[in-house]
Amino acid sequence: MSAGADVRLTIGELARAAGMTVRNVRNHRARGLIGPPALVGRTGYYGAAHLERLKLIRAMQAEGFNLEAIRCLLGGEAVPTPIDADDLERRCGVSPAAARHAAIALREVAALFDRALAR
């Protein structure tokens, strides 16, 4: 498989490739952390974007983010840069102080991603 768009994984194959259980994949799907699979008959197939998203979720969990914070950060529309603490406070329902700290942390995470993508 040379192109990521050609990847078709069942939920079990996706779970193995992402290094997690089928139960976790279903949980992430139920929370809206990953999109729905493409249905062919009664079988759902997941693609490369699902796999990459699950890998990102695992990496964020390893860095200490809980699933609600990950959902807040990854879900919906993209947060424009620079990251606004007031926007985080409103979107995530956290205190102003927590939003300021999160905005600083998110800028650092964004810088890490930028450096990784520049390689």
Tell me the pLDDT tens digit for each residue of 70-113.
Answer: 887 886 433 344 678 888 888 888 888 888 888 877 877 777 77
* CATH code of domain 1-65: 1.10.1660.10
Q: Kindly tell me the sign of the dihedral angle through the C-alpha atoms of 31, 32, 37, 42.
A: positive
Name the pTM for this structure: 0.61
Query: What is residue 5's DSSP assignment?
Result: G
| 99 closest CA partner among 89, 109, 113 | 89
- Supply the pLDDT for residue 66: 87
Q: pLDDT-based confidence at 69, cuts 50/70/90?
A: confident
Question: What is the rounded CA–CA span in Å between residue 42 and residue 66?
Answer: 32
Asked if residues 28 and 54 have their Cβ atoms less than 8 Å apart, the reply is yes
Mean pLDDT across the chain, nearest whole number?
82
Alpha helices in the chain (DSSP H): 11-18, 22-30, 48-62, 67-74, 85-92, 96-118
Burial 87-119 (b: 16+ CB within 10 A, else e): ebbebbebeeeebeebbeebeebeeeeeeeeee
- Supply the pLDDT for residue 2: 44
Residue 3 clears pLDDT 50, i.e. is over it: no
